[in-house]
């Protein structure tokens, strides 16, 4: 039975987290030297969901610690998925269905996680804590952790439905290690509306109460998947920089997962960062060229201080490369005429600035 369960998990992992061009990826030594010296940060990967031993190098999926090292990644934000409608609809979903019980059963996790989003979040938090205790990974909990040597990981909640409607869950999840939180995922919840939800509401009363509490604790607010109304209302309340961890830009790829130029400008006014994604609904052209075009448009509209990377690796998406291919993006940005100083900001300097501002001391 155990072998069968893991077989189901491996099958879906291979099928849903593919790359168009497998590595190894070749770039000139001069480019690799620039990339290696840079602080490289990716604001979103769902690798924890698949229950791999991330200390090992895999031929499936898009992220593990050996490949992060090969890709020159200094900081990986690990998104924690806790509920996904079945089937996923990018335009309208209720929260009445859930495709994850089978996945949590197949990954041999505790029965407590099978039907409870908060327990799923806490279980994945324990898993990354264990990973940090048994590997070179440093889990980022405070400002000073950003400066630690080697690969760093930051825990992010993808959708506050994992609060189960309880305000006290904020402290529970903060204590578990979460330092970034997205308001919504694929459906409206007790905190805010989703761009994929039925009503696409703004912030609820609970949501309005939680925004200042999150800022006080040092949690970075993530507006990926938020409805347009929730996006605006959060920025009206925010006193610290926010992020949109993984998203496209409508200027190069119109759609529900893309920010308009007005939204890009609002993030810039807030001092935040937009994480340009690597998958089809974010960039349309799933290639290094497509990612570069989206980044250049975001820079044109929001300014170079407000653009970063948000791959959505291991998020049920096909990407042009796995995390070892990131030096190719450095090469493409430099070839497109961006000054090296600007490329360093996009690769991770901007994310480091926002997290250093927001994290607790």
- The pLDDT of residue 9: 82
CB 91 within 8 A of CB 256: yes
pLDDT digits (tens, 9 = 90+) for 268-281: 999 999 999 999 99
pLDDT above 90 for 90? no
DSSP string, 212-232: HHHHHHTPEEE-TTB-HHHHH
Go through the domains of the chain in sequence order and give each one's CATH number. Answer: 2-358 (3.20.20.140)
Residue 8 has pLDDT above 80, yes or no: no
- 164: burial class by Cβ within 10 Å (0-12, 13-18, 19+)? middle
pLDDT of residue 6: 54
Mean pLDDT over 210-226 rounds to 98
Beta strands in the chain (DSSP E): 41-45, 75-81, 138-139, 152-158, 178-182, 220-222, 243-249, 258-259, 273-276, 307-309
- Global pTM reads 0.96
d(Cα 275, Cα 311) in Å, to the nearest integer?
Answer: 8
Measure the CA–CA gap between 312 and 277, rounded to whole angstroms: 6
> CA distances (Å), 350 to each of 17, 32, 298, 338, in order?
27, 20, 13, 15
Asked whether 350 and 358 are in contact (CB, 8 A), the reply is no
Q: Residue 292 pLDDT more than 90?
A: yes
**Chain mean pLDDT for the chain:** 96
Among 50, 57, 48, 46, which Cα is nearest to 24's?
Answer: 57
- For position 4, what pLDDT does the model report? 43
Q: How far apart are CA 214 and CA 293, in angstroms?
A: 33
């Amino acid at each position: 039975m155990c072998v069968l369960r893991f077989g189901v998990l491996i099958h879906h992992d291979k099928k849903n987290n593919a790359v168009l061009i497998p590595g190894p990826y070749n770039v000139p030594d001069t480019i690799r030297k620039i990339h290696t010296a840079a602080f490289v940060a990716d604001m979103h990967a769902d690798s924890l969901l698949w229950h791999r031993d991330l200390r090992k190098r895999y031929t499936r999926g898009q992220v593990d610690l050996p490949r992060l090292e090969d890709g020159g990644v200094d900081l990986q934000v690990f998104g924690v998925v806790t509920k996904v409608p079945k089937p996923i609809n990018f335009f309208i979903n209720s929260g009445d269905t859930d495709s994850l019980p089978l996945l949590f059963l197949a990954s041999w996790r505790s029965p407590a996680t099978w039907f409870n989003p908060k327990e799923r979040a806490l279980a994945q938090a324990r898993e990354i804590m264990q990973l940090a205790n048994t590997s070179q990974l440093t889990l980022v909990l405070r400002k000073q952790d950003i400066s630690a040597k080697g690969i760093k990981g930051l825990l992010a909640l993808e959708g506050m439905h994992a609060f189960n409607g309880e305000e006290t869950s904020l402290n529970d999840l903060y204590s578990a290690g979460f330092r970034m939180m997205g308001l919504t995922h694929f459906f409206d919840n007790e905190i805010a509306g989703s761009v994929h939800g039925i009503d696409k509401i703004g912030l609820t009363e609970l949501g309005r109460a939680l925004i200042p509490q999150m800022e006080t604790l040092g949690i970075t607010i993530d507006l990926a998947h938020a409805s347009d109304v929730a996006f605006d209302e959060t920025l009206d309340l925010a006193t610290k920089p926010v992020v949109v961890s993984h998203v496209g830009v409508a200027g190069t790829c119109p759609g529900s997962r893309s920010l308009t130029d007005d939204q890009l400008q609002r993030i810039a006014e807030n001092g935040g960062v937009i994480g340009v994604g690597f998958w089809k609904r974010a960039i349309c052209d799933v290639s290094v060229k497509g990612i570069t075009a989206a980044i250049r448009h975001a820079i044109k509209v929001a300014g170079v201080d407000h653009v970063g990377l948000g791959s959505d690796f291991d998020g049920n998406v096909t990407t042009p490369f796995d995390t070892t291919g990131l030096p190719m993006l450095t090469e493409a940005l430099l070839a497109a005429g961006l000054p090296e100083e600007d490329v360093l900001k996009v690769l991770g300097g901007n994310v480091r600035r926002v997290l250093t501002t927001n994290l607790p001391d």
